[in-house]
Amino acid sequence: MNVGELFSFVRDTLDVDNEDLPDSIIEAHLKDGFQRIYNLDRRYPFYEVTYSFNTVSQQRTYALSSIGSGDLREVTSIVDSTDLGGRLVLVSFGDAENVWSGSSDTASEPEFFAVWDESIHFFPKPDEVKSYTVRGYRKPTFSWVQDHTLEIDIDDVFHYALGYYAISRAYQRQEDTELSVLYKQSFDEAVALARQNIKAIPSYAPLVLNGGYPRRTFKGWMQDLGRNLGQ
């Protein structure tokens, strides 16, 4: 449902009009409830995004805001989409900086990446223009707070829960503690059930009991580097 429909749901439940419960109050309550749900877990499938971008030769650092729509918040994987491809390995910025610094910081084929200061850093820095596919989670939008024709920027299974939260806060404003607590419990229960459903493991997903899919690690790369020195 869009925000206007949610407003009607809240007012109809409370049996009030917009003079008794102004838009600004409901907006504040919905945004508060939204933030509570989002802060519980930012990795909802609803926010998954896939973007493509090209590197610049000899350039290591790329701001997250420069990728895709500029709303990328968290990176989960980077895959080289040039030639034979290959997934880059996430490492800590400190470990990578310790290897690629000074005279050792030469451009080559990137094998690792780090996220630091709202930016992606490639190690080693690319020696040519390359294309990458970046997957991750975007930031939520709040344009719905002012434009009530839009849907709230969250999975629709949470929409009624947000209505319960706004109703709870409205009863709290009226100093009706009993009904305020009742609708707050409804909000908590609806959110818990929705999160459980969203986060449920798909029936077709394999159960991994060991180390998972094998891939080259930063530690393995360092060991290979040590074995090859002097050859």
Q: What integer pLDDT is reported at residue 206 of this predicted model?
A: 62
Name residues of the chain where pLDDT drops below 70: 205-231
Q: What integer pLDDT is reported at residue 5 of this predicted model?
A: 96
Q: What integer pLDDT is reported at residue 150 of this predicted model?
A: 96
How far apart CA 164 and CA 187 sit, in angstroms, is 5
Q: What is the mean pLDDT of the chain?
A: 90
DSSP helix/strand/coil, 25 = helix
DSSP helix/strand/coil, 87 = strand
Q: What integer pLDDT is reported at residue 205 of this predicted model?
A: 63
Cβ atoms of 49 and 135 closer than 8 Å: yes
Q: What integer pLDDT is reported at residue 201 of this predicted model?
A: 79
